[in-house]
Amino acid sequence: MPFKQVTIIGTGLIGGSLGLALKKRRLAGRIVGCDRAPVLEKAERCGAIDTGTANPADAVRGSDLVVLATPVIPILDLIGRLGPALPPKTLVTDVGSTKAEIVQRAAKSFGRHAGQRFLAGHPMAGKESAGVEFADADLFEGAAWLFTPLPGQNVHAGLCGEFIHCAEKTGARIAVLDPADHDRFCAWISHLPQMISTALAAALVDEFGADAPVLDIGGRALREMTRISGSPYSMWRDIAITNRKNLSDALQKLEQRLAHIRENLDSRELAAEFERAHELKKSPLRKRGAKSGDRVI
């Protein structure tokens, strides 16, 4: 059992699912949750944690692993508050959806030993429904878990390596990439799809009204494209703030592509766009199935 006591700060969907996954696979001993009292009650009731407290300083006491599973801006705050006070042998990791600012804050807060004390991570798993009541011990099965090293850090050494091994045991596929590359990459493959879904759902409401049965009539394609429009603003606000430039660039390029399609609805250029789009599904990784250690970009 790699970790005798684990603290999970933020026992929502991801934090709760991690607690369930660690317990199911016997990768941790006692699991302590930190959140608001009603959330902790649900987390304990569903078995994601053994006990909980609303005070982060109390929650981390005695833990050899601390997981920050809140939205990104609270993660930044927690790194600054908890980092200097934690024992040197406690590993801190996070699940934030943007990484450049988190890595910078960790390097500053943990100092010259930051590479042994902090591991920046991002499991590419989730659902459109937030909350520990939707937590799933198998949420990470088959999902990519991205790790972004601090300057000079060997993420496979020491406690960092132990946690990466745990992540693999949950069924996740591990990839390591630079924090700046991560944020640009995720702006396209994760953050942009959310904004497209949000914009489409909002436009449908404007066009037909909130009570119109558009999803019932529209069929599977529309339901799939608008499924994640139900994701909580509280999480996406922090992502938009901390990855603004990359997301803005992606949105601008998509806007240009959509304008090109709009201007060529009756020309052969539309066929060319379809042909270009079909190349995405011809990816070698899609054909053979991506595995741990595959390059992400």
For residues 20 and 137, the answer to whether their CB atoms sit within 8 Å is: yes
Question: Cα(103)–Cα(96) distance, rounded to whole angstroms?
Answer: 11
Which of these CATH numbers, 1.10.3660.10, 1.10.510.10, 1.10.150.130, 3.40.50.920, describes 182-283?
1.10.3660.10
Does domain 3-177 fall under CATH 3.20.20.70? My reply is no
> Hey, how many other C-beta atoms are within 10 angstroms of the C-beta on 143?
17
Which residue in 46, 35, 45, 29 sits closest to 12, CA to CA? Answer: 35
Q: Which segments in the chain show pLDDT lower than 70?
A: 1, 283-297
Edge-to-edge strand ranges of the sheet holding 65-68? 51-53, 28-34, 3-9, 65-68, 91-94, 118-119
pLDDT of 288 reads 47
What residue spans define the domains of the chain? 3-177, 182-283
Structure confidence at residue 295 (pLDDT): 46
pLDDT digits (tens, 9 = 90+) for 52-69: 999 999 999 999 999 999
Answer yes or no: are the C-beta atoms of 49 and 8 closer than 8 Å: yes
User: CA 283, 97, 236 angle in degrees (round to 5)?
Assistant: 110
Which tokens sit at 127?
A: 């659902």
Q: pTM here?
A: 0.90
| 198 burial level (CB within 10 Å; 0-12, 13-18, 19+) | middle
Report the alpha-carbon distance of residue 200 to residue 211 in Å, rounded: 16
Task: Give the model's pLDDT for residue 293.
Answer: 53
pLDDT at 284: 60
